[in-house]
């Protein structure tokens, strides 16, 4: 009993003080956002020099840059981040780099090998079209939606995430909610209504099957493709099948908030609020509100953080705040502010010229697979920049 109490005290102390020593004095948010975008432009010019031709950046570890071919699910985040930087700074060299990065991944518009076309093509070409209005960019997004639609399986009323393999028959992962933004957008901008219908169908199935009573989400639901029956519920990148993998909760929060934006279905808003309260009220959420890689991970508070989950959740909370009011709106805004200040501090944000050119440190890709642990990740940067942009747009 004494040992148990001692561990509890240590945990509480660590959670309340973790990373605080690295936090910079608070700037006014407007100044912080301006400074962060200026820093990011200079830092991404460093990153650009570390990318071999035909590849896209992913991470940096052991003094080496890590890049992948264009079929990697993260291939659109680099160009998407560059468009966010150009939007805020109008730096011509950044725009040129963004345009070149689009050329590298353009062939992905006909790729049907997984569910990640939204990540790959909407974060990139979607932002490019939003800022330039070039019809050729819109055409790529429309073609990408058709490719993604090919993975819709009527028998399970969902988009199949990964192909059948030795682990799964027909897996659908919570991450897939993010790719529905492209489907909704294309239908709302002159494309076939079927894309939005698929997005709604997938969301409803996810709502039914992915969540526990406390609004936490499983990572993977495996289906029998012939009968539509659930084979198993699992968490592939989290601590255990019964755990709440942090980035997965972020995908869920962002996804259902986004679905409410496109449909105004109150069921989606209720779900997003429930997920947000699960995250923000969790006893294992640290004081700086940057989650551990899993809310139920062993070794808390001494295990690894996931800055990518923090950036993603901050961005989602800022949008959710647009659909709420009063104390709840302030709660979501305040939590996102804390996350942004934390991520902008030396505890998480790299120094100029370091970290391989990436902005944020201390992300975790797949801890149980011993993959991408305590490293920068390109999508952490993307959602960090998006959170900064959203705060400036909606709250300043």
Tell me the pLDDT tens digit for each residue of 286-298.
999 999 999 999 9
Average pLDDT over residues 29-45: 98
Distance CA 164, CA 171 (A): 8
Judge whether 69 and 55 are in contact, CB under 8 Å.
Answer: yes
The CATH code for residues 28-395 is 1.50.10.10
Report the C-alpha gap between 388 and 96 in whole angstroms: 22
pLDDT at residue 25 in the model:
64
Spatial CB neighbours of 207, under 8 Å, sequence gap ≥ 6 = 256, 267, 268, 271
> Is it the case that residue 200 has pLDDT exceeding 80?
yes
What are the structural domain ranges in the chain? 28-395
Mean pLDDT, to the nearest integer, of 340-365? Answer: 98
pLDDT of residue 13: 42
Give backbone dihedrals phi and psi of 256, rounded to 5 degrees, phi first.
-75, -30
Q: Give residue 97's pLDDT.
A: 98
pLDDT at position 12 is 42
**CA quadruple 283, 284, 289, 291: dihedral sign:** negative
pLDDT at 116: 97
Residue 23's pLDDT is 45
Q: What is the dihedral of CA 132, 137, 141, 142, to 10 degrees?
A: 110
* Cβ–Cβ under 8 Å, residues 172 and 158: yes
pLDDT digits (tens, 9 = 90+) for 6-34: 344 444 444 444 444 444 468 999 999 99
Which burial class, exposed, middle or buried, applies to 90 when counting CB atoms under 10 A from its CB (0-12, 13-18, 19+)? exposed
Active-site residues, by number, are: 116, 175
DSSP type of residue 151 = T
Can you list the alpha helix ranges (DSSP code H) found in the chain?
2-17, 29-48, 77-89, 92-105, 117, 127-132, 135-149, 180-188, 194-209, 246-263, 266-280, 307-322, 326-344, 378-395
**CB of 114 within 8 A of CB of 133?**
no
Count other Cβ atoms within 10 Å, centred on residue 370.
Answer: 8
């Amino acid at each position: 009993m004494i040992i148990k109490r001692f561990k509890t005290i240590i945990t509480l102390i660590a959670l309340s003080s973790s990373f605080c020593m690295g936090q910079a004095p608070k700037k006014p948010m407007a100044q912080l956002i301006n400074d962060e975008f200026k820093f990011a432009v200079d830092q991404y010019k460093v990153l650009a020099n570390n990318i071999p031709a035909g590849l896209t950046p992913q991470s940096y570890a052991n003094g080496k840059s890590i890049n992948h071919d264009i079929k990697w699910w993260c291939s659109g985040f680099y160009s998407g981040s560059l468009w966010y930087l150009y939007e805020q700074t109008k730096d011509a060299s950044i725009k040129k780099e963004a345009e070149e990065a689009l050329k590298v991944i353009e062939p992905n518009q006909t790729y049907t090998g997984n569910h990640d076309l939204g990540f790959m093509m909407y974060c990139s070409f979607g932002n490019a079209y939003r800022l330039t209005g070039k019809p050729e960019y819109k055409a790529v997004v429309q073609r990408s939606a058709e490719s993604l639609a090919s993975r819709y399986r009527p028998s399970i009323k969902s988009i199949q995430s990964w192909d059948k393999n030795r682990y799964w028959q027909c897996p659908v992962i919570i991450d897939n909610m993010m790719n529905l933004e492209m489907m909704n957008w294309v239908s709302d901008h002159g494309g076939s209504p079927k894309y939005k219908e698929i997005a709604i169908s997938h969301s409803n199935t996810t709502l039914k099957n992915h969540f526990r009573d406390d609004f936490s989400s499983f990572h993977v639901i495996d289906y029998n493709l012939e009968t539509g029956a659930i084979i198993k519920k699992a968490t592939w990148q989290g601590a255990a099948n019964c755990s709440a993998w942090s980035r997965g909760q972020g995908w869920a929060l962002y996804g259902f908030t986004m679905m409410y934006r496109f449909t105004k279905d109150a069921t989606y808003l209720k779900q997003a609020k429930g997920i947000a309260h699960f995250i923000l009220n969790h006893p294992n959420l640290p004081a700086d509100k940057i989650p551990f890689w899993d809310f139920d991970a062993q070794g808390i508070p001494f295990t690894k953080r996931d800055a990518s989950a923090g950036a993603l959740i901050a961005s989602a909370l800022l949008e959710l705040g647009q659909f709420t009011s009063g104390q709840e709106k302030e709660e979501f805004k305040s939590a996102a502010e804390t996350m942004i200040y934390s991520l902008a501090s030396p505890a998480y944000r790299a120094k100029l010229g370091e970290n391989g050119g990436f902005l944020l440190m201390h992300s975790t890709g797949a801890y149980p697979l011993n993959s991408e642990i305590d490293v920068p990740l390109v999508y952490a940067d993307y959602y960090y920049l998006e959170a900064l942009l959203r705060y400036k747009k909606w709250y300043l």
